[in-house]
Amino acid sequence: MWRYFDGRALEMPLEQEVRAAVERIRAEGHALRLCIGTDSQIVTGKVHFATAIVFVVVRNGGFMFVHQRRNQPLMSLKERMMTEIAYSIETAYALDALAKELKLEMEIHADINRDPKFPSHASYQEAMGYIKSMGYTFVSKPDAFASSVCADRFCGG
């Protein structure tokens, strides 16, 4: 179930909420970036995921919607990274027709480091290829705030 930052369930289906938000922001005269990212953490032997849809209101803050998936079975780091990407792409794909209609580019933020000295880098090439092949803009750490900051806040215990 998708929620607002404060934990309340969305009042309308996701697509309608996104449309309303985009139309409101644009009516106020603001430019907008739509960023989607997923993060995961291992909590008591299970994997918890959170996906964030982040609305960046250029030079005027932002807000987000969040979806949590809890108690998934343990998996390797590479499998977790690719599952994060899959959840983000699933979300982007659900909003794809709306984004095209509204002429809104979506960025997929991957919680994967481009620096080879970090373990998550093992998934970098696959993640970038997967995201770009689906037609979305790829953003990785340290610039991937939708996953590494926003979603991260909601995937823990």
Please report, for the domain that includes residue 93, its CATH number: 3.30.420
Neighbouring C-alpha atoms within 13 Å toward the C-beta of 15: 11
- Residue 156: per-residue pLDDT: 76
- Domain limits at 137? 2-154
Cβ-based neighbours of 153, under 8 Å, separated by 6 or more: 50
Whole-angstrom distance, CA of residue 67 vs CA of residue 110: 16
**Rounded to 5, what percent of the chain is helix, strand, coil?**
40, 35, 25
pLDDT at 71: 81
3-state secondary structure of 11: coil
pLDDT, tens digit, for every residue of 21-41? 999 999 999 999 999 999 999
Are 131 and 138 in contact, with CB atoms under 8 Å apart? yes
Token readout for 22 is 């985009």
- pLDDT, tens only, 140-152: 999 999 999 999 9
Number of domains in the chain: 1
pTM here is: 0.94
Model confidence over 75-113: pLDDT tens digits? 999 999 999 999 999 999 999 999 999 999 999 999 999
Confidence of residue 157 (pLDDT cuts 50, 70, 90): low
